[in-house]
Amino acid sequence: MPPSPSGKICTVIRECAPGDFEKAVLGSRRDSDLLEFRLDFLDPSQLTRERMRRWVALAGVPVIGTLRRKPHGGRFEGGAVEQLEMLGRVGGAGFSFLDIEVETLEAVGPTRLNEIRDGSWRLIGSYHDFRGTPSDLGTIFQRIVAVNAEVVKIATLAADFSDNFRLLELVSQGRRQGMPVIAVAMGELGVYSRLVAPSRGALLTYASTRAGQETAPGQFTARDLKCVYGLNSIDSGTLFYGVIGHPIGHSLSPQVHNHAFRQLGLNCRYLPLPTPSLEALAPYLQRFGGLSVTLPHKVAVLRYVDSRHPSVAACGAANTLVRREDGLWAYNTDLDGVRHALRGCLQGSPGRAVLLGAGGAARSAAAVLREARWQVTVLARNRSKAEALAGDFGFEADSLDRSGRYGGDLLINATPVGMSPAIHESPVAGKELRYGTVFDMVYNPLETRLLREARKGARVVSGLEMFVGQAARQCFLWTGREAPLQGMRDVVVGSLKFEV
């Protein structure tokens, strides 16, 4: 029998042309502990034993053969009997596993299945639900056991965060019964299960070859599982952190914080936790060592904390949760991010600043500038919002369309104007830039149009400095260790593929 996998990352090969399929096999070996060949993406005429045998040999790791039927999320249009006949044609090619849906196994019966068994592969009995997570997962588990599967696979769409734990309980059930299990909560709300289940005993977790090649919603790339999350070294002692908000698909926080944890030698992982409903996640907040909080939950999350640091009152919101012995604490490290970004300006005498924006980011900047006793004018498209923010801090206010009247020592852009993909926009025309320093909180791109135009006559500060500064403070609050700030900065620059 082929060897068992030495790790947990199973990369799914789903190319439609034989040449591309073979190329994907060769390109996936480095980051994979197993491969799954999705044979239903190939034309049936291309499914020959000789070709499969060659590809399995090229893989160099255990391979799962899967011919998924259309009713269960695949492309194979034949019925259960035809599916089994096709698998019988390639079953002796050296596959370590064949994945067959429980519905097929129930329809054809054990006699017909035994006709294609040759003792070289193990049977994965699988169940898929792309609409939700049924209430009777235990019954489904027993259905798969009843068809003599050697591995139980259940993949369902997560409707809320609790579905992750329902799927993880199946892994525990399998361990109690001595049955290997693959349990996947699909979709953006199920990423927790994909990252955590292997450390709880699941046989594997699925990965795509690259972004855009996912065979189920929520899959990570194999590269990210290996290099960003270090999946195979997650164990029962790993402490989890993460970012909650919605949407968070483009957040660089997992790359930054996992780099910091590695550099500090800590058995910790930072996970993306898309959270449309904070109420659904609230019962599980204490399972994490700490969390980053982003929109739209920065204010609502305060309902679930035990204590608030003064930084929360200063900003009117939280962006960080820390689990301590006396409960869950809320902080706002955006203040630290602003201080870090403006460290060159704030060390001298107070000056005059113009602050663009009236949202949460602007409030963080306003708190730091008031602390440093600067004179500030707040400009926003909605003048009433500018006046409300200015009134809270004792500043002046005006409308953004009157920005040409102003100048000073410092300009801060706390609006999203100029953020990717709208990289050609700027909140202030270049001819109106009469400042000693211009700080743009936008960090993607690293050099916005505002900074590019300001560079001609001013010192410029990228939003990268604020992002890294606040992240470093989060790391310290969670771990008590000084963060590797330069390394975290390099990760962001590398991820954005820009040079400062």
Domain-wise residue ranges, the chain: 9-236, 242-332+469-496, 336-461
Q: What is the mean pLDDT of the chain?
A: 95
- 19 is written with which tokens? 């040449």
If phi > 0 it is left, if psi is from -120 to 50 it is alpha, else beta; for residue 265 that is left
Q: Do domains 9-236 and 336-461 have the same CATH topology?
A: no
- 437 is written with which tokens? 């320093």
Whether pLDDT at 303 is above 70 = yes
Q: What is the CATH number that goes with domain 242-332+469-496?
A: 3.40.50.10860
The helix (run of H) or strand (run of E) holding residue 206 is strand 205-208
Query: What pLDDT band is residue 498 in, cutting at 50, 70 and 90?
Result: very low
Nearest Cα to Cα of residue 288 among 323, 317, 254, 312 = 323
CA distance 192 to 243: 12
If phi > 0 it is left, if psi is from -120 to 50 it is alpha, else beta; for residue 89 that is alpha
The reported pLDDT for the residue numbered 4 is: 57
Nearest Cα to Cα of residue 406 among 434, 374, 442 = 434
Whether pLDDT at 500 is above 80 = no
The reported pLDDT for the residue numbered 499 is: 39
CA distance 19 to 162: 42
If phi > 0 it is left, if psi is from -120 to 50 it is alpha, else beta; for residue 181 that is beta
DSSP at 76: B
The reported pLDDT for the residue numbered 119 is: 79
Mean pLDDT of 315-322: 96
pLDDT tens digits along 143-202: 999 999 999 999 999 999 999 999 999 999 999 999 999 999 999 999 999 999 999 999
CB atoms within 10 A of CB 127: 19
Tokens 């235990």, located at residue: 138
In this structure, are residues 308 and 318 in contact, taking their beta carbons and an 8 Å threshold?
Answer: yes
Architecture field, domain 9-236: Alpha-Beta Barrel (3.20)
The dihedral over CA atoms of 52, 101, 206, 92, expressed in degrees to the nearest 10, equals: -20
Catalytic center residues: 128, 153, 298, 334
The reported pLDDT for the residue numbered 91 is: 82
In this structure, are residues 154 and 136 in contact, taking their beta carbons and an 8 Å threshold?
Answer: no
Angle between helices 18-28 and 49-59 (to 10 degrees): 20
DSSP at 436: E
pLDDT tens digits along 265-286: 999 999 999 999 999 999 999 9
pLDDT tens digits along 213-265: 999 999 999 999 999 999 999 999 999 999 999 999 889 999 999 999 999 99
- 96 is written with which tokens? 């370590």
SS3 of residue 123 by DSSP: strand
| 131-140, 345-354, 469-478: least confidently modelled range | 345-354
* Percent with pLDDT over 70 in the chain: 98
Mean pLDDT of 326-352: 95
pLDDT tens digits along 88-108: 999 889 999 999 999 999 999
Nearest Cα to Cα of residue 127 among 147, 108, 113 = 147
Whether pLDDT at 443 is above 70 = yes
421 prior amide bond cis, ω within 30: yes
Nearest Cα to Cα of residue 101 among 156, 147, 52 = 147
Whether pLDDT at 353 is above 90 = yes
Mean pLDDT of 352-378: 96
For the residues of 37-48, what is the DSSP string, one character each? EEGGGS-GGG--
Homologous superfamily of the 336-461 domain (CATH): NAD(P)-binding Rossmann-like Domain (3.40.50.720)
* Percent with pLDDT over 90 in the chain: 92
SS3 of residue 309 by DSSP: coil
The reported pLDDT for the residue numbered 6 is: 65
Residues in the chain: 500
